[in-house]
Structure formats: structure tokens, C-alpha cells
Amino acid sequence: MLRPSMLEISGLRKVFPNGVVALDGVDLVVPAGEIVGVIGRSGTGKSTLIRCVNRLEEPTAGTISLEGEDITRMRGPQLRAARRRIGMIFQQFNLLTSRTAAENVALPLEIAGVGRAERRRRAHELLDLVGLGDRGDSYPAQLSGGQKQRVGIARALASEPSLLLSDEATSALDAETTNSVLDLLRRINTELGLTVLLITHEMDVVRRACDSVALLDAGRVVEHGPLGEVVARRDSRLATGLLPQFGRVEIGEHEEAREVVVFDDELQLSDGERVEARSTERIGDRRVTRALVVSPKGVTV
Ligand SMILES: Nc1ncnc2c1ncn2[C@@H]1O[C@H](COP(=O)(O)OP(=O)(O)OP(=O)(O)O)[C@@H](O)[C@H]1O
Ligand SMILES: [Mg+2]
């Protein structure tokens, strides 16, 4: 059965006053409970897209439905209520340096008028959830980048959003920390059923965290689909980026090499062939093997 959509973006255009067309008719569906990645080169409109979803930018045209309600038409209290259903995490974490981790997490609750004792209880519960139960009294300057982003995630969860927006949230982190933050997002997605729209320029991030992916190019979605489906497409820019990589291999003068991609199955070799390099990964719901198969020159297989 198809999942109901959390977010439906249709014909979204954003033209800035200086005439730059940042979004040129974006259509995108984010099913409830999924992590959807939007990938694209610098300047393709990724941040503008996310800023339109939380209405930090006013769209020029198009609709953005959050759980069936068009948020582009909302104003005042209705818009504020919709915004509370949307959490956001940032590349530079955006924590207040003069506040402790727990006070940062409690900020959205303070704004919502929640009492002090309840704020404290919730902040510690959320810090526990992100693995920082013992760092509530630390200031941002006393935390590593990965820990700061965990505080950012806890703060984003404080108003119990149904949708989390992430704009390059791991771009300032090293590879290992990136993976641990992505794994945390995955865990929250599973445990809390939180839907995530994740913006990135790195295919590794998509591969590790997302259920489906959309490729944004010059303000338009040019390709999209579930990871397991996209990776099997021929001549697909997304598939090329998603496929497992293997290192460089020297091929002998009397040998021929061919690349083979196998889905959900083991690699079968013909007589005289051998695998020179192989890499297998789980991508979406499939197991994908990429192999470099070598055979002596002149042998047809
Ligand atoms: N406030 C603005 N006024 C005018 N043009 C803008 C404004 N904000 C963004 N743009 C332009 O809109 C286009 C899309 O910008 P955007 O920040 O959405 O790209 P991006 O995909 O997030 O890039 P990056 O990967 O570098 O973060 C760019 O050409 C950018 O220069
Ligand atoms: Mg950006």
C-alpha cells in the first residue's frame, strides 16, 4: 500500500527580486515515515527549496502541502502552528553560544510557553535520545561538531515535529562523525516515525541515510525514485553516483576487463574469468555488487 504523503510540492517556482530563477517548477513528494534526499550541485536551488518549505522564503508560484494543507496560503497563527510541525537542522548547527546544550534544546519549548520544570525534563529526555544525556550542562564551545549537531537534532525534535528538514547538516563534519549523525537520523526516523527531507551534495549521505532520492538541476527535479529502483537504471546520473566503488586496478596487457553490476544475487563467472575487484553494498532495499571481471584477451564470454 502507498504511504500517505507528508509533504507534496507541486510546480514550485522561486524567482528572486534580482531575476535569478532559483526554483523552476519543482514537483516532489515526501511520503510519511521516509527519509527523502535531494541532491544537486552548488547553486541548483536546494537551500531555496527547503527555505520555501518552512516559509523563510515566499514561493513565487506553486503549492506546498504539509499533511494535506497548503502552507503557501497560511498566515499568522495558522502558519506558526504549521511551522511547529517542521523541525530544521543546519550545516553550522546554529546553537546559541551563551546557552548550555540543555538550554538550547529547551528554547523552542520556552517560545511555546512550556513551564520551566517541564522544559528541563523534556530537554534531558531529548539529549538522552541523541546520546548526550550527560552533556546537558556543557556550552556549545565545549562540544565537538558531531555533538553540536546532536544538540541541534534534539532542539529540532523539541516541538515534536512531523517533518524534519536538514540542509547539509553533515557537511561540516568528518566522514566518521557524518555516518554517526546519519545513523542517528535513521534511528529517530524508525523509532519516532519522523519524516525527513534531507538536502545534500554528497552521494554517500544519500546512500547511507535515504529511502528515496531526487536530483535537482537548475531549479528542477530531473530524476527521482526509491534508491533500490534508481540504482538499477541505465544511463542514470543518480545510479552512477550510488553504485558501490572499487579502487583502481591494473589490467595486464593480455587481459580484458568489464564492469558488472549485480542486484540481489551472487556474481556468476564464465570459464577463464576472474574477479579482480569487488564491492558490495546495501542500497535502499537491494544488495548491489559491482565487480571488475577480467578474462584473457581473445576469449569471448
Ligand atoms: N536571496 C537571494 N537573492 C538572490 N539570489 C539568490 C538568493 N538566494 C539564493 N540565490 C540564488 O539562487 C540560486 C540557488 O541558490 P541556493 O542557495 O538555493 O543553492 P544550493 O543548491 O543550496 O547551493 P549550495 O549547494 O551551494 O548550498 C543561486 O543561483 C543563488 O545565487
Ligand atoms: Mg545550500
pLDDT in tens, 116-153: 999 999 999 999 999 999 999 999 999 999 999 999 99
Residue 162: inside a domain, yes or no?
yes
Cα angle, residue 106 at apex, residues 105 and 111 outer, rounded to 5°: 125
CA of 92 to the centre of ligand 2 (A): 12
Distances (CA, A) of 50 to 54, 88, 238: 7, 9, 21
pLDDT in tens, 217-237: 999 999 999 999 999 998 899
In this structure, which residue's CA is closest to atom 30 in ligand 1?
A: 43
- The whole-angstrom separation of Cα 208 and Cα 44 is 22
Do 283 and 233 share a structural domain? no
Residue 285: inside a domain, yes or no?
yes
CA of 175 to the centre of ligand 1 (A): 25
Do 150 and 287 share a structural domain? no
CA of 187 to the centre of ligand 1 (A): 31
In this structure, which residue's CA is closest to atom 10 in ligand 1?
A: 22
**What confidence score (pLDDT) does residue 66 get?**
96
Q: Which of 204, 208, 201 is nearest to 185 (CA)?
A: 208
What is the pLDDT confidence band of residue 247, given thresholds at 50, 70 and 90? Answer: confident
Where among 239, 254, 287 does a domain terminate? 239
What is the pLDDT confidence band of residue 245, given thresholds at 50, 70 and 90? Answer: confident
The structural domain count of the chain equals 2
CA of 37 to the centre of ligand 2 (A): 13
Residue 211: inside a domain, yes or no?
yes
- The whole-angstrom separation of Cα 252 and Cα 245 is 21
pLDDT at residue 301 is higher than 60:
no
Looking at all shown ligands, the one closest to residue 40's CA atom is 1
Range of the domain at 55: 5-239
In this structure, which residue's CA is closest to atom 28 in ligand 1?
A: 43
Where among 207, 222, 239 does a domain terminate? 239
CA of 219 to the centre of ligand 1 (A): 10
Beta bridge partners of 14: 23
DSSP 154-204: HHHHTT--SEEEEESTTTTS-HHHHHHHHHHHHHHHHHH--EEEEEES-HH
Do 226 and 141 share a structural domain? yes
Beta bridge partners of 213: 37, 225
Question: Which CATH number characterizes residue 178's domain?
Answer: 3.40.50.300
Do 128 and 27 share a structural domain? yes
Contact 161, 85 (CB under 8 A): yes
What's the distance, CA 59 to chain centroid? Answer: 22
Which residues, 6+ apart, have CB-to-CB distance to 180 below 8 Å? 146
Do 233 and 164 share a structural domain? yes
199 CA closest ligand 1 atom index: 22
Do 14 and 128 share a structural domain? yes
Do 169 and 78 share a structural domain? yes
- Of residues 15 and 258, more confidence is placed in 15
Do 176 and 157 share a structural domain? yes
Lookup result for grid cell 547553486: 43
**What confidence score (pLDDT) does residue 4 get?**
76
41 CA closest ligand 1 atom index: 25
**Mutation to probe ligand 1, out of 12, 14, 48, 216 (largest number of atoms < 8 A from CB):** 48
What is the pLDDT averaged over residues 254-269?
A: 90
pLDDT in tens, 181-215: 999 999 999 999 999 999 999 999 999 999 999 99
**What confidence score (pLDDT) does residue 75 get?**
92
Residue 208: inside a domain, yes or no?
yes
Looking at all shown ligands, the one closest to residue 49's CA atom is 1
Do 270 and 175 share a structural domain? no
Do 158 and 272 share a structural domain? no
Do 232 and 118 share a structural domain? yes
Ligand 1 site residues, Cβ closer than 6 angstroms: 16, 18, 20, 22, 40, 42-48, 201
Residue 37: inside a domain, yes or no?
yes
Where among 216, 239, 262 does a domain terminate? 239
Do 292 and 143 share a structural domain? no
